[in-house]
Amino acid sequence: MDVISVIRTKRDRGELSPEQIDWVIDAYTRGVVADEQMSALAMAILLNGMNRTEIARWTAAMIASGERMNFDSLSRPTADKHSTGGVGDKITLPLAPLVAACGAAVPQLSGRGLGHTGGTLDKLESIPGWRALLSNEEMLNVLDTTGAVICAAGDGLAPADKKLYALRDVTGTVEAIPLIASSIMSKKIAEGTGSLVLDVKVGSGAFMKNIEDARELASTMVALGTDSGVKTIALLTDMSTPLGLTAGNALEVRESVEVLAGGGPQDVVDLTIALAQEMLTAAGIKDADPAKALADGSAMDVWRRMISAQGGDPDAALPVAREQHVVTASASGVLTRLDAYAVGVGAWRLGAGRARKEDPVQAGAGIELHAKPGDTVTAGQPLMTLHTDTPEKFEYALASLEGCYDVAPSGTAFTANPIVLDRIA
């Protein structure tokens, strides 16, 4: 078999055979298929799609490229969560310790930033000393002793996805529904969690811009998980506006700690609790109260133990960018729109994300919001603050923010979208 034939099949809108899928995933993992060839195939998949049979086989081939984990030795039921990515989406950070505080074990394998969306590992690495890379033995030990672990997938877990995940980020193929579904589910099924809650983002700041595409992706992933014996549920959640008041790495860690301390923006709190309740129910834990675990400090206790167990210092000062630039409101009235995608691109251009898979990220870079839709603003008041270590990036970031918000006359009625739009099980 040869990769050119595989590319041509999908380029010409054909169906890839099981043999073609198995071969190309294995050959790419071994380095026989080059990055530029897999880039061409990924673009063909983005443009022409895959049917359910192809997606299921692609996912199985990704799983078969590596090992599978097992958490049967734990005394707690396992529950995991995955987000398809958004702007200001720091939910994993308070969610994992919260669910652990309520009695489940949370083996959270997370990733790095993709395009304009932030990565959980990039955020946590802004904590001095914190390590994303753990051996399977270390991961199991942290999970057993603290109840939660957030780390990178090991080299042995779906290695095909690890290569393809980084490639998609820099080739404009992140949005392909078959590749999103197979990437997420191959890791989660191989990870060995007993139940999984998917946070499928919808809106300008998400990879799924409309609810129909989001439902298609959610349904595909729920079916893949269920067929593999993993209890899988999906929530469709709004990503037309950034979550919370920060988009960046250290900025989002700081806000997550505020949530764990019983404060923080209401939309972040509401979504964290909604996802926690779904995870606990899926794990068979019926009587836990996530809101109480946030209020009484037990979730914060788990956070501190979890960060310390991975070498981090939960009391250390977080990095702060050397330069700031304030964007002010152009008019007085009611803020009715703040585009999540524009804010995400702005944070990425400031250094919070990467243009190439090899690029470093700035821990302190990002955007801090001073108002959200529904708030009353006055002309000239700070609307957002841009943070970066490299001030020459301000002009490039500001270009992405042109026209990103609307201000209506004072007294204009405003109704925000609900944070949870739909549930698929």
Catalytic positions are: 82, 161, 168, 183, 187
State residue 419 phi and psi, 5-degree precision: -70, -35
Q: Quick one: which of 134, 119, 174, 140 has its CA closest to 72?
A: 140
Contacts of 151 (CB under 8 A, 6+ apart): 108, 109, 110, 121, 131, 132, 133, 134, 139, 142, 310
Per the listing, tokens 């998400």 go with 206
- Tokens for 332? 């007085």
CA 132 to CA 293: how far, in whole Å?
26
Amino acid in the structure at residue 344: G
Contacts of 322 (CB under 8 A, 6+ apart): 364, 388, 389
Reduce the DSSP state of residue 101 to 3 states and report it: helix
Residue 413 CB neighbours (<10 A): 8
**Is residue 166 within 8 Å of 357, Cβ to Cβ?**
yes
Chain-centre distance for alpha carbon 156: 21
CA 268 to CA 144: how far, in whole Å?
27
Amino acid in the structure at residue 42: A
**Is residue 205 within 8 Å of 242, Cβ to Cβ?**
yes
Reduce the DSSP state of residue 160 to 3 states and report it: helix
CA 15 to CA 363: how far, in whole Å?
43
Residue 232 is inside which H or E element, if any? Answer: strand 231-238
CA 65 to CA 57: how far, in whole Å?
12
CA 205 to CA 209: how far, in whole Å?
8
State the chain's maximal CA–CA distance in angstroms.
Answer: 66
Contacts of 425 (CB under 8 A, 6+ apart): 222, 232, 233, 234
Residue 292 is inside which H or E element, if any? Answer: helix 290-295
What dihedral do alpha carbons 84, 86, 90, 93 form, nearest 10°?
10
